[in-house]
A and B are shown apart, each in its own frame.
Chain A
Amino acid sequence: MDTIERIKEQIAENSILLYMKGSPKLPSCGFSSQASQALISCEEKFAYIDILQNPDIRAELPKYANWPTFPQLWIDGELVGGCDIILEMFQQGELQTLIKESAAKNKSKQ
């Protein structure tokens, strides 16, 4: 499967998905660390993909997303933003709402 197809599949199959450097437990970048901390604080399950382990995704996703940097948070198939947006929304309480709504939607589907 080519890289863009893989990306599309990942985004479609994971309603809350963080592309980051490293993992939430062992982030390799300060921005990825802050972003995953904010997500963890929302207390819903989320998927992550370590782009350092996936150089093809690291190369292709910025073009596909029209977003130049990592981390990238995708919710329900849509790019929410990078670290600064995630943190600002978290501080305003908007991220929690968005995440809870997405999680609830997906629980009711199952």
Chain B
Amino acid sequence: MTIQSSIEEKLLSAFSPLHLDVVNESNQHNVAPGSESHFKVIIVTSEFEGERLIKRHRAVNAVLAIELAEHIHALALHTYTEKEWNDYYADNTPLSPNCLGGSKKS
């Protein structure tokens, strides 16, 4: 299974999201073609209701702990409730920055 589909599967089963987008953005970075190192996740779920951003991100990071420890170099996270999504972010999904070269493992 690719890292991308394992991320998708885990998030689907953990959060029953209303909307989930897992984008492999590795090609924007200084890594070999076909890499699965940089991802963006947009996830909309009622489970984030009333939770601060740091708590939402921690919840996602916990579900993806193995991927983060072993495979993923960068994970852009956009975590919304249904209301936040419908009111604003569905039409204004954030873009990730381009690489500045710092992704090389030291």
A interface residues (Cβ-Cβ under 8 A, vs B): 21-22, 27-34, 52, 55, 58, 66-69, 79-85, 87-89
* Cross-chain pairs A/B with CB under 8 angstroms, 7 sampled: A29-B99, A29-B101, A55-B106, A58-B106, A81-B53, A84-B57, A84-B78
Number of interface residues of B (CB under 8 A): 23
Find out whether the CB atom of B97 lies under 8 angstroms from the CB atom of A30: yes
- A27 vs B74: C-alpha distance in the bound complex, in angstroms? 16
- Given A29-B103, A31-B74, A32-B102, A81 and B54 contact (CB-CB distance below 8 Å): yes
Pick the contact of A34 from B54, B77, B97, B106 — CB < 8 Å? B97
Q: Which residues of B contact A22 (CB under 8 A)?
A: 100, 102
B interface residues (Cβ-Cβ under 8 A, vs A): 53-54, 57-58, 61, 65, 68-69, 74-78, 94, 96-103, 106
Q: Dominant SS at the B interface? A: mixed
* B62 to chain A: closest residue by CB: A66
Distance (Å) between the CB of A82 and the closest chain B CB? 7
Q: Which residues of A contact B98 (CB under 8 A)?
A: 30
Find out whether the CB atom of B100 lies under 8 angstroms from the CB atom of A85: no
Pick the contact of B53 from A21, A27, A85 — CB < 8 Å? A85
- A92 vs B58: C-alpha distance in the bound complex, in angstroms? 20
Find out whether the CB atom of A85 lies under 8 angstroms from the CB atom of B54: yes
Distance (Å) between the CB of A69 and the closest chain B CB? 6
